[in-house]
Structure 1
Amino acid sequence: MNSVKLIGNVGRDISVKEFEGGRLVSFSLATNESYLNKNKEEVKNTHWHTIVAWGQLAQRCETLVEKGKMIVVEGKLNYRQYENKDKQLVRVAEVVAFKVEEAVKNQEANVS
């Protein structure tokens, strides 16, 4: 099963692209984690994820998603590649969302 659930803060305002077949939005999401190292010091890490949404969910994201807002994204991991203008192969990992909603404040504390 290919399933992912992320809770984090939007890193930038969404990008909207129109196609004949519909609308695509993309945005970055920052997730944070922390742990104690062997010296009992807290180490904090931030991971950045690219999120994409299509169709009606894309339209909903246009009103819900804004920079800095904490949201919950459910979707699947997608890997793709393309050749850029310099003829270099670019590999992309992204989360294709099927659900995006505003995070409840205590939701972040419940994630392990």
Structure 2
Amino acid sequence: MARDLNKVMLTGRLGKDVELRVTPNGRSVATFSVASSRNIREGDAWKEQTEWFRVVAWEKLAETCSNYLHKGSHVFIEGRLQTREYTDKDGIKKYSTEVIATDMTMLDSKGQNSGGGNDIEDAWDNAGGGGNSNSGSGGRSSGGNRSRGNSYDSGETDLEDIPF
């Protein structure tokens, strides 16, 4: 029997600062938008085409995103797509497809971060790599700092836990 696959991998830059909230059950949830651009040919010219993705991170990964990402941060996100249904203020049923992040890697070079550049590296070192990485280099991957979501949180998101 074939297995289904729901996997997203994207790189891009944050369009605004991360928004961190806490659900009534005490779970941290972060939301942010990532813009990913590519060049396409239109006639004799090249044009940049940008897609925007809404990203949702939970628990420890949400807190890491909130602490270290900001508008303009270059990130690599791994996760899965999830579509949820909600009713807007006018009573109209709407749908929203989001990337539920399970892994995040900061791609900014050392010194490109708004907090002076070394804050992320120092915090990562002091935390022993955060214990959230699957790389064997003390929490560092070759392309940036990596943080994984909770492995037990792979099920569907309880929509009652979303505070918006």
The alpha-carbon deviation at position 63 of structure 1 amounts to 1.5
Identical pairs, percent: 29
Please report the TM-score for the alignment, with normalisation by the length of structure 2: 0.61
Q: Which runs of 4+ in 1 moved over 4 A?
A: none
Please give the secondary structure, in 2, of the residue aligned with 1:63: helix
Cross-structure match for 1:53: 57
Question: Structure 2: any 5+ residue segments left out of the alignment?
Answer: 110-142, 144-164
Q: Does 1:69 align with 2:73?
A: yes
Cross-structure match for 2:37: 32
Name the larger-Rg structure.
Answer: 2
- 81, 84, 88: which is aligned to 1:84? 88
Q: Does 1:17 align with 2:53?
A: no
Please report the TM-score for the alignment, with normalisation by the length of structure 1: 0.87
The alpha-carbon deviation at position 103 of structure 1 amounts to 1.5
- Residues 73 and 108 in structure 2, CA contact (< 8 A), matched pair in contact too: no
Give the structure, 1 or 2, with the largest relative contact order (CA under 8 Å, sep 6 or more): 1
Structure richer in strand, relative to its length: 1
Q: Provide, for residues 28-61 of structure 1, a one-character-per-residue CA deviation record: whole Å limited to 9, x for no partner.
A: 0000010222x22102101110000001111111
Question: Structure 1: any 5+ residue segments left out of the alignment?
Answer: 108-112
- 2:99 & 2:84 partners in 1: Cα distance? 11
- 1:33 & 1:63 partners in 2: Cα distance? 28
- 2:106 & 2:93 partners in 1: Cα distance? 35
- Residues 83 and 96 in structure 2, CA contact (< 8 A), matched pair in contact too: yes
- 1:4 & 1:44 partners in 2: Cα distance? 21
Q: How many residues align?
A: 105
Q: Does 1:97 align with 2:101?
A: yes
